[in-house]
Amino acid sequence: MTADGERVGVGNAIDLVAPLLRRLDSLLALGILGGIAGVGAAFVLPAHYRVEASFVPEVSSEIPSAAAGGLSSLASRLGVGNLGSQISPDFYSQVLQTRTVLDPVILKRYASTDADSPADSVTLMDILEIPRTYSPERRLELAYKALDRRLDAGVDQASGIVTLSVDMPTGALGVAVVKAILARLDSFNLFTRQSSAKSRREFLKDRVAEAHTQLDSAEMALEHFYASNRILTSSPSLTAQESRLRRRVDMAQSIYLSLSQQLEDAQIDAVRDTPTLTPVETPIAPAKPTWPRKSVMGALGFLVGIIAASVRTTWRETLSADSPVRVSLTAAARALQDLATRWRRRQQRN
């Protein structure tokens, strides 16, 4: 870029900034008015209270201890499944946002947020202002989508803690909704655990009976071998045969004990009704709304006022009356105004 070009660029920048500096008082005045309007809007806009809770889901495995040693992979091959598998906390964060959990929460009745009738109980479909003109199924679907937008679930991968947050018109309602979601998730987990345990119990009963039969067969073979061969030290082949029979008995015994332990655990899980969620942080109603914040709305209003005043000042003082840009924009504005006027007249005639 040449020196003349640089001087022209600097001159244009000064021409744009100079009117703003001359009108600095009006810029600040409009900015202050915008800030006041923003603070006023914070009193008019509906409040949102964010309520949070966190928990650690139950971590379970089919083999409760390492007593079975290397039999986890062996039992997996026998059809019992991955005995060391655990459900990831990410699973719970996804389940929290499914209709299986949220639909009963939506249909539950809560204290009304209406100041005129606080004693009334209403569902979230009414609180979220879902129109009654829709069918009940459609209202429930729209309420689910609205609640899902207000709900956020996250997982701390390092600690496995699941955090749930919900935005509601009041803090008390937010606490009630969070508790209802956690209670529904716990019921879902309990039902899933018991159903899985019952299916696993029925399967393991057959496997335990089969393993017991195999163990009896191996023990009888070893017993018959001892009855037929009383002196083993003088025959290497008999010693080797004894070792093979002993290994079969030990293996059959290990499998039988492992499956019996799993059957006992499945029988306990089938009737166990202890909570599946360990609370880390209980929901508490916040004293102040999360949104709108007066300070944020005031700052935004001030910024919008400054920008509007800057555009207005630049328009009036930088662009001359015969400027092509100003002429074109003015003509476009008038055309839009004429179009709006014609449309209103046509609506009045109809």
pTM over 0.85: no
70 and 119 share one domain: yes
109 and 83 share one domain: yes
Strands 161-168 and 151-156, by their bridges, are antiparallel
100 and 63 share one domain: yes
Structure tokens at 47: 């409040």
In a domain, 240, yes or no: yes
In a domain, 28, yes or no: yes
Pair 151, 52: CB distance under 8 Å:
no
- d(C-alpha 73, C-alpha 266), whole Å: 19
Question: Which residues of 101-192 form beta strands (DSSP E)?
Answer: 110-111, 121-122, 151-156, 161-168
138 and 234 share one domain: yes
Domain boundary among 281, 301, 316: 281
240 and 162 share one domain: yes
How many CB atoms neighbour CB 288 within 10 A? 9
59 and 133 share one domain: yes
The pLDDT, as a whole number, for residue 8 is 41
The pLDDT, as a whole number, for residue 341 is 85
What is the domain range of residue 35? 3-45+292-336
In a domain, 329, yes or no: yes
DSSP label of 48: B
The pLDDT, as a whole number, for residue 324 is 58
261 and 300 share one domain: no
Question: Which residues of the chain form beta strands (DSSP E)?
Answer: 49-57, 110-111, 121-122, 151-156, 161-168, 277-281
106 and 120 share one domain: yes
The pLDDT, as a whole number, for residue 277 is 86
94 and 182 share one domain: yes
203 and 152 share one domain: yes
The pLDDT, as a whole number, for residue 147 is 94
How many CB atoms neighbour CB 175 within 10 A? 20
In a domain, 345, yes or no: no
Pair 61, 344: CB distance under 8 Å:
no
Domain boundary among 281, 303, 328: 281
- d(C-alpha 127, C-alpha 119), whole Å: 14
115 and 223 share one domain: yes
The pLDDT, as a whole number, for residue 9 is 43
**Total structural domains within the chain:** 2
In a domain, 102, yes or no: yes
The pLDDT, as a whole number, for residue 78 is 44
204 and 70 share one domain: yes
The pLDDT, as a whole number, for residue 73 is 43
The pLDDT, as a whole number, for residue 69 is 39
In a domain, 137, yes or no: yes
Element counts in the chain: helices (H) and strands (E): 11, 6
The pLDDT, as a whole number, for residue 20 is 56
Report, as ranges of residue numbers, the positions in the chain whose pLDDT lies below 70. 1-25, 41-42, 44-45, 59-86, 114-119, 233, 273, 292, 309, 313-329, 350
Tens of pLDDT, residues 234-293? 777 888 888 888 899 899 899 999 998 988 888 887 777 677 788 999 999 888 877 767
Tens of pLDDT, residues 92-108? 889 999 999 999 999 99
Buried b (16+ CB within 10 A) or exposed e, 218-245: beeebeebeeeeeeeeeeeeeeeebeeb
The pLDDT, as a whole number, for residue 60 is 54
In a domain, 227, yes or no: yes
In a domain, 344, yes or no: no
- d(C-alpha 289, C-alpha 222), whole Å: 77
